Every structure is written in structure tokens, then in C-alpha cells.
Amino acid sequence: MKRISFFLFLIFIALTVTTHAQERIVISSPNLHTNDTVLVVTPTGYQSGIVYPTLFLLHGWSGDYSNWSTRVPLQNMSDKYGFIIVCPDGFYNSWYVNNSDPEGMQWRHFFDQELYPLIRERFSTVPDSCFITGLSMGGHGSLNIFIDDPARFRAAGSMSGVMDLRQTSLSKSEVAKVLGPFIPENRRFDEESVINRVAQLQGSDKLLIISCGYNDHLADHSEEVAQECKKLQIPHVLLLTPGVHSWKYWDFALDLHLTIFNKILKGDNLGY
């Protein structure tokens, strides 16, 4: 009996070590005035207390926290690279900014004061192995959050990102719901746009990955930010490949971003 019990115990330990998890964390947020559901994907074999590289992964306009997991094999990505992948809810139209209305969603405050500290404490995340990227609206959000405080991250990326909030078909309708009227006098459109904020990274040695399908209607946004980075000598990689504004492209692009993030962690050759 003792041998059988010991054998079962070993099986239990083995199953515990090799089990992966996709956990949904609900945060009751005073900054958002509502709950935020966050999907956290951990690598197979994840063990609490060990430091794993972490990726904050933001969805696009009209999406939610589940978008990435239903369209892309996140578990496979997590296992392949050994990353914890954190997918918060940016809601339908938050643009990952603080709403002009104090009673509206203060998403940037939510990230700073609630989400980032919670993930750091719960999953032993450290800035030196923490990354952020996202698609479209989320590409805008990821770079803006990085610019706010680069010390929290090792590097950042954007996939098909909206880099100028005045230059999108959603400016007058959806973005205006968050930032106020789309008029020249409303400077928040300029103040929140990555194209105008990226200069704050001048002198930083942390890499930006700016990628887009060159048949995407937002490809010009990525090229313009890359040109600004080149002028200011901000380290960046511009990746323009065949593709449009689609999940087929973002599946491909996420793997590219994780490949480069992983190379950064390992100290591999990045060509410079």
C-alpha cells in the first residue's frame, strides 16, 4: 500500500508541474467605475514564485479581453516562448487613455495603479523581463503606456497601430467619445497621439517593434513613427510585410514580436 501511495503521489506531483492554466482575474476598478476581466495565460509547467517573462497584450477597437485567445493560439505561444501573457479588457472604445470625463474610464490610471501592480505581485513579474504590445487601438495603447514609464518594461511593440488620433476614420465618432469634440482647439488628440509623444523616448536604449502589413490602411502610421524614431535615434525595428488589418496578420505579427522579445531576453544578436 505504501508503494502504491507513493507512486500516486509522484503522479500527482508530475501532473501539478506540467499543468498549464488560463486564468480569468476580475478586478473591481475604481478608476474604470466597473470591473475589468483579465485573461492570464501561463506556460505549461508554470510554477508560482519563479520569475517568467511577461507580455501585456492589448486588443483592438471594438474588442475585449478574450479576442486574442479566441483568434490566436495563445497557449502555444506561451509554451513556445515561456512567456506569461496578460490580456486585459480595453473595452470597446477606451483607446487605453484617461477619458476626458472624470466619470468615464480612466484606463491609464487603471493600468498604473491597479493592473500592473497586481500582475507584478501575483506573478512575480520584474521590469527587466516585462514587455507590452497590442494591435490597432491596442498598438496605440501599448506604445503610449510604454512612453508613460519605460522603466516598467524591457521593450514595447505595436501591430497595425493607430499612431495619430487625428488621422483615423474613427476620430470624429469613437475617439471623440473619449477625448471630447474633434476640433482643432481640443489638444488632447495631439497630446495623446504616439506620433507626438515618441520624442519623450529620445536617449532611451530600449527597443520599439513597429510592425504592420504594408497593404493595411494604417501602414503609413507605422512608417511615420519609424521615421520619427530614426530622426531622434530611438532604437526601433520597422517590420512591413504583406498583410492587411486582419487576424491572419496579427497571428503572424505576434509570433514575430515574441521572437524579438525573446532574443532581447537572451542577449542574442539583434543586428546592432
Spell out the domains of the chain, with CATH numbers in brackets.
16-266 (3.40.50.1820)
Chain segment 24-48, per-residue pLDDT in tens: 999 999 999 999 999 999 999 999 9
Chain segment 2-17, per-residue pLDDT in tens: 443 333 333 233 333 3
Q: Which of 248, 23, 245 lies closest to 139 in space, CA to CA? A: 245
Chain segment 222-268, per-residue pLDDT in tens: 999 999 999 999 999 999 999 999 999 999 999 999 999 999 999 99
Confidence of residue 21 (pLDDT cuts 50, 70, 90): confident
All cell numbers assigned to 98:
484617461
- Which whole number is the average pLDDT over 142-171? 98
| 148 in Cβ contact with 112 (< 8 Å) | yes
Q: Which residues contact 182 (CB under 8 A, 6 or more apart)?
A: 166, 171, 172, 175, 176, 189
